[in-house]
A = this chain, B = another copy of it.
Amino acid sequence: MKIQLALDRLSIEEAIKIAGQAEKFIDIFEVGTSLIKEYGIVSISRLKEAFPDKLILADMKTMDNAIYEFQLCFEAGADMATVMGVSPLQTIETCLEAAAEHQKKTMIDLLNTSEEQRTALFPYTEAIFCDHVSKDVQEKSGLHNTASATFDPSLQWAIAGGITGESIQTMAGPLPDIVVIGSAITKAPQPEKAAEALSEIIERKKAESHGSA
């Protein structure tokens, strides 16, 4: 279970600063959609330059123009990029092809997908699937990702959307491959301490899970 730190609603400099503070405990730095739309693709190359040995995920949230968008972010140094599961399958397939060509990874964001759409997507087993409760849904409905979903363990999974140490502690069943953490670290008074605490919870969870397996 890797930790992905979502860097959103920050300047590039702030994002690099917080990433540096939490670096030791983080596996993947996510360049958030807000950074990409506010500052452009340079937000990806700046993060990769600052952390050349870390995995960088570009949260492109691609809906169309897949080859252009995915090439842009892979050329900027991203190791992974996201496409929306609600987009046409033609877009998703183009993303997977672009990722394969660059030997990179596609994350399919399942936000607001129907059961029918998810069933159509799961055969793309090379992708990572992201079970995602969006920020707007969290804020307007008071919901967040309780990390209680049961995942098909033959697929690669990430979970995102208001994940905290508490929600990780209550996880049952197979653990996802990636937990995406945003404001629980970026808005903490001491991001390094927050990342360390979350990392400890995750290590305990992994040990428990091995123990029960």
- Could you tell me which A residues sit within 8 Å of B by CB distance? 8-9, 33-34, 36-43, 60-61, 63-66, 68-69, 72, 84, 86-88, 90-91, 93-94, 111-112, 114, 134-137, 139-141
Contact = CB atoms under 8 A, between A and B. Distances in A.
Contact of A64 (B33, B63, B68): B33
B86 A135 contact: no
B136 A66 contact: yes
Q: Majority SS of interface residues in chain A?
A: helix
A136 B34 contact: no
A69 B64 CA distance: 18
23 contacts: A9-B65, A9-B68, A34-B68, A36-B37, A37-B72, A39-B41, A40-B40, A40-B42, A61-B61, A61-B63, A61-B64, A63-B86, A66-B136, A84-B84, A84-B86, A86-B87, A87-B134, A88-B112, A88-B134, A88-B137, A91-B134, A94-B136, A94-B140
A158 to B, nearest CB: 15
A86 B86 contact: yes
A196 B102 CA distance: 41
B93 A140 contact: yes
Interface centre among A61, A63, A72, A84 (most CB of B within 10 A): A63
Contacts of A112: 86-88
Contacts of A140: 90, 93-94
A72 B35 CA distance: 11
B8 A135 contact: no
